[in-house]
Amino acid sequence: MTPARKNWDGLLPVPGDGRYEWGFLKRDDLPSVYNPAKGWFATANQMNLPEGYPVKERKVGFEWADPSRYERIAQVLNANDKVTLADSMKLQNDDVNLLAERAVKLLKAVELPADASAEAKQAAAILRNWNASNDIDSAAAAIYEMWISQHLPKALIAHVVPEAARKTIGKGSGTAAIDMLETADKSLGQDPQAMRAAVISESLASAVAALKERLGNDMDKWRWGDLHRAVFNHSLSPVVSKALQEQLTVGPWAMSGSSTTPHAASYNPDFTLMSGASFRMVLDVGGWDNSRVINTPGQSGDPFSPHYRDLAPLWLTGDYVPLLYSREAVEGGAATRITLTPGK
């Protein structure tokens, strides 16, 4: 149900006086793919309009996610022409971060200034040896995510954006920062290489200082999961007793992934989980009883049910449960049967 706006784009408010009416695009007017030659198609909120699509006429979208998640999915699928259920479940929980790969490559190409702090040099060394996977136990992932989300964009803006324009730009984007530092053109000033090294050095030092406050002084003991936590707070928690509040709350738990890994797990400024795939499903078309599923935190909305939080530990570790389809399989796997009797 995609809006069709003939004389406007929907990005800003317009007068409701009849000049800006809208309907819906027909299905045939939307982008589509059918039996692609490569044998698969995928989407991860990236810009996926095909080349030549008349976007000025059919304004289907303007804002897209970083393409790293899609690019990793494509990388995996292109290397495997016989994908199994197990492969699919593994891919949904894949923690490889292609934006981080670009950052690691950038760090390997940049020599930090002679006056760079010992902390910045140590952090850079850890990142240069990282496999770019946002694993729970990774110290490098903790350094990278703190750096890319809160310190690198800030430092770059401070160096290259006029003060009067900084409020308009806001906090900036880690992806945009990597784009600019990779290019290293005159937008970084008369000496782009020196500017690039200075921005990286300063931002790594400030990221390390922030991590020391949260995770202690020993970098080797830092873990991404000690920073990145999943917690499910019930909407009623603020208005119930402390005991019931504890019963309603699920977590916190250490979690892998990030906003730029196929295992989607974006986070708030305090690194608690903000959004991701709370529900995952892998279907065996034709052999439906072989399908697998996972949800979080559980199967029941009753906080006193044993099934209120029973799936969360499986969800966190990338495990699944059977998604039964046939009547025989469902009845054979049922643990509880609920009977609803109409009132008199």
Q: Which of 107-121, 153-167, 194-208 has the lowest mean pLDDT?
A: 153-167
176: Cα separation from own chain's centroid: 16
CA angle 174, 93, 66 (to 5 degrees): 25
Confidence grade of residue 336 (pLDDT, cut at 50, 70, 90):
confident
- In angstroms, the Cα distances linking 226 to 4, 136, 155, 192 are 46, 8, 25, 36
The reported pTM is 0.91
What is the CATH code for 98-223?
1.10.1400.10
- Report long-range pairs for 274-278 (Cβ below 8 Å, ≥24 apart): 277/92, 278/315
The chain-wide mean pLDDT, for the chain, equals: 94
Residue 279's DSSP bridge partners are 295
Report whether pLDDT(338) > 90.
no
The pLDDT, as a whole number, for residue 169 is 81
Query: pLDDT by residue (tens digit) across 126-176?
Result: 999 999 999 999 999 999 999 999 999 999 999 988 888 888 888 889 999
CA dist 212 and 219 (Å) reads: 8
Query: pLDDT by residue (tens digit) across 35-88?
Result: 999 999 999 999 999 999 999 999 998 999 999 999 999 999 999 989 999 999
Sequence ranges of the domains in the chain: 1-94, 98-223, 278-344
Count, in order, helices (H) and strands (E) of the chain. 13, 9
CA dist 154 and 311 (Å) reads: 38
CA dist 309 and 304 (Å) reads: 10
- Which tokens sit at 38? 């490569």
Provide φ and ψ at 292, rounded to 5°. Answer: -130, 155
Q: Is the CB of residue 287 less than 8 Å from the CB of residue 275?
A: no
